[in-house]
């Protein structure tokens, strides 16, 4: 990346160091031969910079990692088999029994289940806080042996906003922000003092629903520490998925520009609809943390959620009525998707956790795609009209 280069240009050039081909090669080998014992030993000693075994390092995966590091303004990055592989590896690499984690209540359901189950079972204390309350993270982090603070902004599923400056100023050894909904094109947590930025790159970074991959970006010393655990944890990224995600990065800027614009248009239209009781989108002036989002985001993202009149039954009818919009639980791809978080992404949480995460029974999460906005509005109008009692 050249000095003062724009981020959309970086998305095109990132991860291409030493490449002459315009498409990344896929290095499919799981292992490399050597000319003797000493060579093999030396390659193993080089760790993630060597060429011995693909669980330790893979050239295609490395290109993807370098591209993400450039987009995030980070020293380095590390890829995993999924976003959950990333968060689980980070937690168990950095935290030990007796340590304390502070995390927000408004998190992806899988992360909440990880913290409530395996993390607590391993003797790691967890405190959940409301990310929308100023000072909540810092106050909870005063507890002895606080090792890690976890935030997610915008949060899944109701788009709560955590203040990145507040998270970055916490004196805990490590702070992590799940920035999946925003992508590096809309916000860069590391610029706010956060230690680790995490993405389920399966989503908007890959962007085509054909790559299952997670990634973190951070300083090299953190990445090396997490890598040393990751080779034991085993959640190594596939070179095929890394190749697809690297391809996705090339169009990330233009996809996000279109999707953010359409999301803003849809959110404004939905907010005026008589069948919609609430719209959650940080780009709307009515969003309770709109001012914070405007300060720390360059665009407001392609995700929004709505609450429709009639609760669970109305959501069921809505999902059956949409035609262009596709019912599915992922996000960030070219198709507009809708899901009911309480029965999918946050399924299995108890009623208290569901309420704290804002996964209301009448809430639908919409991932805005690349279709024409007018066609999306027409489809949503048909579904909402059919939903009338």
Range of the domain at 318: 253-386
Distance, in Å, from the CA atom of 382 to the CA atom of 321, rounded to the nearest integer, reads 7
Residues 242 and 259 both lie in one domain: no
Residues 59 and 179 both lie in one domain: yes
* C-alpha R_g of the chain: 21
Residues 68 and 142 both lie in one domain: yes
Given 99, 125, 163, 178, which residue is catalytic? 178
Q: Angle at the Cα of 330 (from 274 to 195), degrees rounded to 5?
A: 105
Residue where one domain finishes, among candidates 234, 250, 266 = 250
Total domains present in the chain: 2
H-state helical runs in the chain: 7-13, 37-45, 59-72, 83-94, 109-114, 120-121, 136-140, 164-169, 183-186, 220-233, 239-250, 252-271, 290-296, 311-321, 351-357, 373-386
C-alpha count within 13 angstroms, C-beta hemisphere, residue 137: 29
Is 62 known to be catalytic?
no
Specify whether the CB–CB gap between 165 and 183 falls below 8 A.
Answer: no
Q: Check residue 354 and give its pLDDT.
A: 65
Residues 160 and 209 both lie in one domain: yes
Is 203 known to be catalytic?
yes
Q: Check residue 9 and give its pLDDT.
A: 92
Residue where one domain finishes, among candidates 250, 277, 309 = 250
Residue 341's SS3 state is helix
Q: Is residue 2 part of a domain?
A: no
b/e 95-130 (16+ beta carbons within 10 angstroms → b): beeebbbbbbbbbbbbbbbbbbeebeeeebbbbbbe
Contacts of 386 (CB under 8 A, 6+ apart): 317, 321
- CA 89 to mean position of chain CA atoms: 15
Distance, in Å, from the CA atom of 123 to the CA atom of 92, rounded to the nearest integer, reads 11
Residues 43 and 181 both lie in one domain: yes
Residue 303's SS3 state is strand
Contacts of 208 (CB under 8 A, 6+ apart): 244, 247, 248, 333, 334
Residues 49 and 193 both lie in one domain: yes
CATH number for the domain that contains residue 13: 3.40.640.10
Q: Check residue 20 and give its pLDDT.
A: 73
Q: Is residue 201 part of a domain?
A: yes
Residues 64 and 138 both lie in one domain: yes
Residue where one domain finishes, among candidates 205, 223, 250 = 250
For the chain (length 389 residues), average pLDDT per consecutive 10? 81 80 86 76 70 89 96 98 98 98 95 96 97 96 97 96 98 97 98 98 98 98 96 95 97 98 98 96 97 98 95 91 96 96 75 70 94 98 82
Given 16, 53, 55, 382, which residue is catalytic? 55
Residues 258 and 347 both lie in one domain: yes
Residues 374 and 337 both lie in one domain: yes
Given 48, 99, 108, 241, which residue is catalytic? 108
Q: Is residue 176 part of a domain?
A: yes
Q: Is residue 44 part of a domain?
A: yes
DSSP letter at 325 equals S
Q: Is residue 1 part of a domain?
A: no
Distance, in Å, from the CA atom of 253 to the CA atom of 234, rounded to the nearest integer, reads 31
Q: Is residue 123 part of a domain?
A: yes
Specify whether the CB–CB gap between 85 and 229 falls below 8 A.
Answer: no
Residues 376 and 277 both lie in one domain: yes
Cα torsion 356, 362, 367, 368: sign? negative
Residue 278's SS3 state is strand
Sheet holding 214-218, edge to edge: 76-80, 214-218, 196-200, 174-178, 146-152, 100-104, 125-129
Residues 246 and 266 both lie in one domain: no
Q: Is residue 357 part of a domain?
A: yes
How many Cβ atoms are within 10 Å of 228's Cβ, its own excluded?
Answer: 12
Contacts of 164 (CB under 8 A, 6+ apart): 151, 153, 177, 187, 189, 192, 193, 194, 296
Q: Is residue 63 part of a domain?
A: yes
State pTM to two decimals.
Answer: 0.94
Q: Check residue 2 and give its pLDDT.
A: 61
Specify whether the CB–CB gap between 111 and 150 falls below 8 A.
Answer: yes
Residues 339 and 208 both lie in one domain: no
CATH number for the domain that contains residue 360: 3.90.1150.10
Given 48, 51, 62, 203, which residue is catalytic? 203
């Amino acid at each position: 990346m050249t000095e003062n280069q724009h981020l959309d240009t970086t998305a095109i050039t990132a991860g291409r160091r030493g490449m002459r081909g315009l498409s990344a090669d896929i290095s499919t080998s799981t292992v490399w031969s050597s000319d003797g014992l000493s060579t093999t030993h030396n390659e193993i000693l080089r760790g993630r910079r060597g060429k011995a075994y693909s669980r330790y390092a893979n050239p295609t995966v490395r290109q993807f990692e370098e591209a993400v590091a450039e987009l995030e303004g980070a020293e380095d990055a590390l890829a995993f088999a999924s976003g959950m592989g990333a968060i689980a590896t980070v937690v168990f690499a950095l935290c030990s029994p007796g340590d304390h984690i502070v995390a927000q209540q408004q998190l992806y359901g899988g992360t909440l289940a990880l913290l409530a189950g395996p993390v607590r079972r391993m003797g790691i204390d967890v405190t959940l806080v409301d990310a929308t309350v100023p000072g909540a993270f810092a106050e909870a982090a005063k507890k002895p042996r606080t090792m890690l603070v976890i935030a997610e902004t915008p949060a899944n599923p109701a788009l709560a906003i955590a203040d990145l400056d507040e998270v970055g100023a916490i004196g805990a050894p490590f702070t992590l922000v799940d920035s999946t909904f925003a992508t590096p094109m809309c916000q860069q947590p590391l610029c706010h003092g956060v230690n680790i930025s995490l993405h389920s790159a399966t989503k908007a970074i890959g962007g085509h629903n054909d790559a299952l991959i997670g990634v973190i970006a951070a300083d090299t010393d953190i990445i090396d520490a997490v890598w040393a655990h990751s080779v034991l944890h085993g959640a190594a990224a596939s070179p095929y998925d890394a190749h697809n995600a690297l391809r996705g990065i090339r169009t990330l800027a233009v996809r996000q520009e279109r999707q953010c614009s359409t999301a803003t248009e849809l959110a404004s239209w939905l907010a005026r609809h008589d069948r919609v009781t609430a719209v959650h989108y940080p780009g709307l002036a009515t969003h309770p943390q709109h001012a914070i989002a405007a300060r720390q985001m360059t665009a407001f993202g392609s995700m929004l959620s709505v609450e429709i009149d009639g609760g669970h039954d109305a959501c069921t009818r809505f999902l059956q009525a949409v035609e262009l919009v596709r019912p599915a639980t992922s996000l960030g791809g070219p198709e507009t998707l809708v899901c009911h978080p309480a029965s999918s992404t946050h399924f299995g949480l108890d009623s208290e956790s569901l309420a704290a995460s804002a996964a209301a029974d009448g809430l639908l999460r919409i991932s805005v795609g690349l279709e024409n906005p007018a066609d999306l509005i027409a489809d949503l109008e048909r579904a909402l009209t059919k939903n009338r009692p």
